[in-house]
Amino acid sequence: MRKWLTRSIFFYFIYGLIVYWYLFIFSGSGIPAPYEGTSADPKTFMSGRELILSQEYSTIRNFLYFVTIPFEWFLLFVCLITGLSKKMKEWASATSRFFSLQSAIYFFWLSLFVTFVSFPVNWIGYKISKTYQITTQSFSSWMKDEIIDFWVNYLLMTVIIVVLYWLIKKFEKRWWLYAWLLSIPFSLFLMFVQPVIIDPLYNDFYPLQNKQLEEKILALADKADIPANHVYEVNMSEKTNSLNAYVTGIGSNSRIVLWDTTLNQLDDDEILFIMAHEMGHYVMKHIYIGIAGYLLLSLIGLYLIHLLMRKIISRSGSLLRISSMKDLAGFPLFLMLLGMLTVASNPLANTVARYQEKSADMYAINMTGDHQAAISSFQKLSKAGLSQVNPPSLVKIFRYTHPTMLERIVYIEEDLESNKND
């Protein structure tokens, strides 16, 4: 146990050094020479101070992201190899003879352990955002959201654990297939209820107060044959200075949502471009394509977890204190493998997402015909979030679900030039 813990800490330390070297020393985020002085060059729309802050903030946040990913895996590994997970299972078993209640108690202790040890890392992320004035949220408000996160995740995951281990016990060789089949209605249900049950736990949503702007947005929706009756705004200015807008939910619970920071900092033409972008996702059915892609990756992922868990337990079950795949104490191994496979799939998922975002951008341009509003909105998004216009390659591959701001502004300008030539 000591040997494996020592090795884990050593490799984690080396990994952190490599990430630090890549982000702070090796990689650059400058603008390629052909684009210097263009509207894609942050020097044309950011002050010198904003340039420095965006570089510092983005680099620190990227570093924190990359070193945090394996940190939770390490905690789960510690739970297994020290026997803590096994001890938690024994506590739960002694409390009740009902497996569902045992699972709920076990996962409560596991969640509490991971949350407690991870809290300093999460707090550092909060303080960094607060220092750079991206976060405007008070500590008490941030803690409230953290507590809500804990209980929402706990309740959802408890349901998943009970069903998952029931399937493993009943169908040891095919549990992954039945789990995947059940995940389809469960995922659709969550997407349906999220706008009306989960999201309001964190923020207040209400119909857009600017009725003139709402009429313009609904006119765009009518032009795109989108059956929208309301546009919602959310009071995100209490928590952040960043800008955002999105479409959430499915079916009758679909919503177009604008952050009030977006309403406060963008002009109407810029907001209309962003709304046309979100409508592009709806028209091109990106939500449903995304669901299909998620379900396909889930099927592959669950099957791989089945194979890997069976192999790991057969070889190292005694070391990890797991007697079989049916053993509830082995759930941290499930979470570790799920996390690793999720990160491994991010480059593919993000590539597809970036393609969809570009398609939505071009749809919005075709609908509004306002290239300048598109460019200025991208510039303001970069300023408000202190985001890098041209991030390092690995950051883009693993973190960016949207094209970089450099790419977005460049292809909008190229489309503008193409239209002029035509």
Catalytically active residues, by annotation: 278
Q: How far is CA 175 from CA 166, 335, 367, in A?
A: 9, 16, 47
Q: How far is CA 332 from CA 76, 77, 282, 329, 407, in A?
A: 5, 7, 37, 7, 40
Q: How many other CB atoms are found less than 10 A from the CB of residue 13?
A: 10
DSSP output for 124-192 = HHHHHHHHTTSB---HHHHHHHHHHHHHHHHHHHHHHHHHHHHHHHH-TTTHHHHHHHHHHHHHHHHHH
Distance CA 22, CA 73 (A): 22
Q: Residue 248's beta-bridge partner residues?
A: 255
DSSP 3-state assignment of 241?
A: coil
Q: How far is CA 304 from CA 307, 308, 309, 338, 349, in A?
A: 5, 6, 8, 9, 17
Tokens of 160: 């998943």
Q: How far is CA 59 from CA 62, 244, 378, 409, in A?
A: 5, 21, 20, 22
